[in-house]
């Protein structure tokens, strides 16, 4: 006669992971997107620079920084984009964005963002998705103004 299988005990990490989607949804209900600002942008051509037929881009991102205020939440994201051919650097661009969310319940939002998994998802996936289309547009305009061929950035990185 075989023994009945006992349900496997879930680790604290697995239990926490299972709760995160509901808590993350709760966070999204407590914040309201108010503004996305391109706070600072610099774009510099390397000298001497000849207009290349094609080039590759390297995209780097600084870790998101979160500022909690009584009535709003601000997330800062920065990107560095370099255009290069095999032989030379063509340009370097720096883009700094600020995303402002209005808060409906400051203490509850603060408590939810103390969870590392929720915070990482909010700063990473959520904030990056909001900013990415603005970054693509700002970069395309800078390339056009510099007389460089357009670059194709993915819809989302």
pLDDT tens digits, one per residue of 111-135: 999 999 999 999 987 898 899 999 9
pLDDT tens digits, one per residue of 66-100: 999 999 999 999 999 999 888 888 999 999 999 99
Helix (H) or strand (E) holding 30, with range, is: helix 12-30
Report the distance separating Cα 132 and Cα 77, nearest Å.
10
Q: Hey, where are the domains in the chain?
A: 32-145
Report the distance separating Cα 97 and Cα 131, nearest Å.
7
Report the distance separating Cα 157 and Cα 154, nearest Å.
6
Lookup result for tokens 């390297």: 58
Nearest to 27 by CA among 152, 128, 131, 123: 123
| CATH architecture, domain defined by 32-145 | Roll (3.10)
């Amino acid at each position: 006669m075989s023994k009945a299988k006992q349900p496997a005990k879930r680790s604290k990490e697995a239990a926490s992971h299972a709760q995160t989607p509901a808590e993350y949804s709760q966070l999204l209900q407590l914040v309201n997107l108010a503004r996305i600002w391109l706070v600072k942008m610099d774009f510099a051509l390397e000298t001497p620079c000849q207009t290349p037929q094609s080039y590759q881009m390297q995209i780097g991102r600084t870790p998101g920084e979160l500022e909690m205020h009584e009535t709003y939440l601000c997330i800062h994201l920065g990107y560095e984009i370099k255009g290069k051919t095999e032989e030379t650097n063509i340009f370097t661009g720096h883009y700094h964005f600020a995303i402002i969310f209005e808060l409906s319940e400051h203490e509850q939002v603060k408590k939810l963002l103390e969870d590392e998994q929720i915070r990482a998802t909010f700063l990473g996936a959520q904030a990056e998705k909001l900013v990415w289309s603005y970054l693509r547009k700002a970069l395309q305009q800078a390339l056009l103004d510099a007389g460089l061929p357009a670059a194709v950035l993915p819809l989302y990185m």
